[in-house]
Amino acid sequence: MTNVYLASGFFNESQVRKVELAEASLLSKGLNVFSPRENQNQHIEFGSAHWRQATFETDVEAIEWADVLVAIYDEEDAGTMWEIGYAYAIGVPIIVVHKGEEVVNLMITDSLTAYLESFEELLDYDFEAEFLLRKPYTGSVI
């Protein structure tokens, strides 16, 4: 079974709706999903130095555990961009879901394995294939 790290902002209603949709889509495919939104170390005081360290370490370990990272490219969340970069650096394939009209940064477009333009494409994507299907980004970059 494929292990998926789901990178996404979850700081406003729009982002929460998107990450919840992605979580449901990935789980419906029978994948093991780690979503930072669901793993916030709630037993530790939010924002404390201990919480920050624990949350950072948990997320790093989960990216290292993952067979693939799925990122919702939304509002250019700095945390999501860092997670994409770290996954690339350690050789974890990256699937980007981007429904927006904004131009995508070349550091993202040139590090990804597949660029999906909808959650329907995410639902249809074969995460269990021996080799993940490459689908490059073909739009403009910044």
pLDDT at 1: 87
pLDDT at 85: 98
Any bridge partners for residue 54, and if so which? none
Instruction: Classify residue 140: in a domain, yes or no.
Output: no
Q: H or E element: which one contains 115?
A: strand 114-116
Instruction: Classify residue 15: in a domain, yes or no.
Output: yes
Question: Domain range for residue 87?
Answer: 3-124
- CATH no. for residue 69? 3.40.50.450
pLDDT at 23: 98
Instruction: Classify residue 136: in a domain, yes or no.
Output: no
DSSP string across 91-108: T--EEEE--SSSPBPHHH
- Binned average pLDDT, 10 residues per bin, the chain of 142 residues: 96 95 97 94 92 96 99 89 98 94 92 96 95 94 92
Instruction: Classify residue 42: in a domain, yes or no.
Output: yes
Where residue 75 falls (left for φ over 0; alpha for ψ -120 to 50; beta otherwise) is left
Instruction: Classify residue 129: in a domain, yes or no.
Output: no
Work out how many domains the chain is built from and give that number: 1
Tens digits of residue pLDDT in 112-137: 999 999 999 999 999 999 899 999 99
Cα–Cα dist 78/32, whole Å: 24
Assess contact for 82 and 5: CB atoms under 8 A: no
